[in-house]
Amino acid sequence: MRRKLVAGNWKMNGLTASLAEVEALIAAHPAPGCEVLLCPPATLISAMAARAAGRIAVGGQDCHMAAAGAHTGDISAAMLRDAGASHVILGHSERRADHAETNAMVRAKAEAALSEGLVALICVGETEAERDAGETLAVIGRQLAESTPDAATGANTVIAYEPVWAIGTGRTPTLEQIAEVHDFLRAELAARFGAEGAAFRLLYGGSVKPGNAKEIFATSNVDGALVGGASLKAADFGAIIAALAG
Ligand code: PEP
């Protein structure tokens, strides 16, 4: 059985005062029937991990592929771990677009994360133009194959399907479109990793809200969600968790 997972991505949002949301979230959902992960900006990882005290997991939003060195402004996997992170989001479409991250770079970062004992949450997803051109599965298949390390297992790697056009737009694919991609991801993982392919959690991400979470979670091969905007407010994120745990 794959343990359900709801992950929140705060992106470049949040100051120390925002940590009150974490307290509210934990107070509202002391023992959810699923795993909960919050990925704040790097500046808040340490303080959030201290407050969470293991009740929810805390993760980074990126790491460098090198262990250390002359990379001004970057953060290594070991630094994330040292700050209290247990997970790291890699290959988010905003980083692929803003920082020209390639699949090969995402894979190298994932290898660095796994070697530090972090769980890598690898994002894949098509643009609207790619979907319109009928290239969705080809694009996602390539991203998955090239971004996922050979050492990936269901325990150390999570795959998030995030259609670029659904992120922060309020638009979501149909449930049939989500199922098509998630079933495809499952088949690709099984083809590459054999029986272990069934152990990877597959998250859907892109405009998940309290109002649509339940039907998305009931969709084939959806094991949880990666949530952006709605993870910033404990009430909304808590409602999404409740929809999965409930
Ligand atoms: C995201 O950026 O990972 C995301 C899913 O954002 P949102 O939920 O705001 O669409």
Domain boundaries, the chain: 5-245
pLDDT computed for residue 30 by the predictor: 56
Q: How many CB atoms lie within 10 A of CB 57?
A: 19
pLDDT computed for residue 23 by the predictor: 87
Residues paired with 8 in a beta bridge? 38, 227
Residue 64 in this model has a pLDDT that exceeds 80:
yes
* Phi, then psi, of 43 in degrees rounded to 5: -65, -20
Secondary structure of the chain: what % helix, strand, coil (to 5)?
45, 15, 40
| Mean pLDDT of the region 159-180 | 98
Ligand 1 atom with least separation from CA of 230: 8
Residues 192-213: pLDDT tens digits?
999 999 999 999 999 999 999 9
Which CATH number is correct for 5-245, 3.40.47.10, 3.40.50.10210, 3.20.20.70, 3.40.50.300?
3.20.20.70
DSSP state of 220: T
Tokens of 74: 């970057």
Q: Which residues of 197-225 are buried (b: 16+ CB within 10 A; e: fewer)?
A: beebbbbbbbbbbbebbeebbebebbbbb
CA of 167 to the centre of ligand 1 (A): 5
| Mean pLDDT of the region 39-43 | 98
| Mean pLDDT of the region 142-153 | 98
DSSP state of 169: T
| Mean pLDDT of the region 49-55 | 92
Residues 1-34: pLDDT tens digits?
899 999 999 999 999 999 998 888 888 765 567 8
Tokens of 155: 């325990």
| Residues with catalytic roles | 92, 162
Write down the pTM of the prediction. Answer: 0.97
Residues 83-125: pLDDT tens digits?
999 999 999 999 999 999 999 999 999 999 999 999 999 999 9
Angle at 213 between CA 209 and CA 218, to 5 degrees: 165
CA of 165 to the centre of ligand 1 (A): 10
Residue 37 in this model has a pLDDT that exceeds 60:
yes
pLDDT computed for residue 245 by the predictor: 83
40, 15 Cβ separation under 8 angstroms: no
Beta carbon of 232 within 6 Å of any ligand 1 atom: no
Beta carbon of 160 within 6 Å of any ligand 1 atom: no
| Mean pLDDT of the region 128-145 | 98
| Mean pLDDT of the region 66-81 | 98
